Amino acid sequence: MAGISRRFGAVQALSGVDLTVAAGEVVALAGENGSGKSTLSRILSGVLTPDSGSVHLGDARCSFSHPRQALDAGITMVSQEPTSVPHLSVAENVLLPRLHRAAQRVSRRELIRDAAPFLQRVGLMVDPARMLGSLGQGERELVELAKAIAVHPHILVLDEVTTRLPDPERLFRVVDELAASGWASCSSPTACGRSAGWQPARWCCGTDASSPSWTAASSPTSGSVRPWSAVR
């Protein structure tokens, strides 16, 4: 991402933000409310369009006006707002991004079979045929994560996911496994700084809303921010 800016009325949410994430790298976005973490994540995943700046995947410049376009390019996000459908089964929710054709016929048995490995990968041991609405909030969040990795993205964006999980350490283990297999992850995890056994590869710290720029830091509470060319 290069030179990303976005304004909402009189509020400048982002101003000239550059962000580079390599394959197999986990980058955590840290900052106070209003520093632009969610706005940057939504632009990367096609939910919002920037006022200026560009998004590149490798050498190709991308322009997303819809999350489906980002998804087709290999970018998916687990957002703060749940996108699950309570009256559908767990398996149907996990594979929902694959079921986007209006006349598509699906087999219930195949859905259950195909969804099971992704549920196991996030550590959710429930019957895939069970209705999603019968699960607890933390279990539903794991279904959201399973749905995101079921599309085999190149980049996984996690927007404040840890705030809704009973066991954030489980998420960190999944993220590390995905990074080891070559996926890139860009996240704004509230609980990262409180985890004794996990740290992302890099922290990118946003300033307050009055001056929404970004810098690199060794930790979200680092007193001295060292210069880094990939994020400003």
80 domain-assigned: no
Tell me the pLDDT tens digit for each residue of 201-215: 666 666 543 344 444
Identify whether residues 157 and 146 lie together within a single domain: no
Identify whether residues 119 and 8 lie together within a single domain: no
Asked if 93 and 85 count as a contact pair (C-beta separation under 8 A), the reply is yes
Tell me the pLDDT tens digit for each residue of 17-49: 888 888 888 887 777 777 788 888 899 999 999
Q: What's the structural domain count of the chain?
A: 2
Identify whether residues 168 and 56 lie together within a single domain: yes
What average pLDDT score do residues 7-16 get?
90
Asked if 187 and 200 count as a contact pair (C-beta separation under 8 A), the reply is yes
* Rg from Cα positions in the chain: 18
Q: Which two tokens stand for residue 141?
A: 């969040």
pTM of the model: 0.76
Domain termination site, one of 110, 126, 151: 151
Identify whether residues 188 and 120 lie together within a single domain: no
90 domain-assigned: yes
Indicate whether 122 pLDDT > 80.
yes
pLDDT for 202 equals: 65
122 domain-assigned: yes
| Bridge-based pairing state of the strands 26-30 and 202-206 | parallel
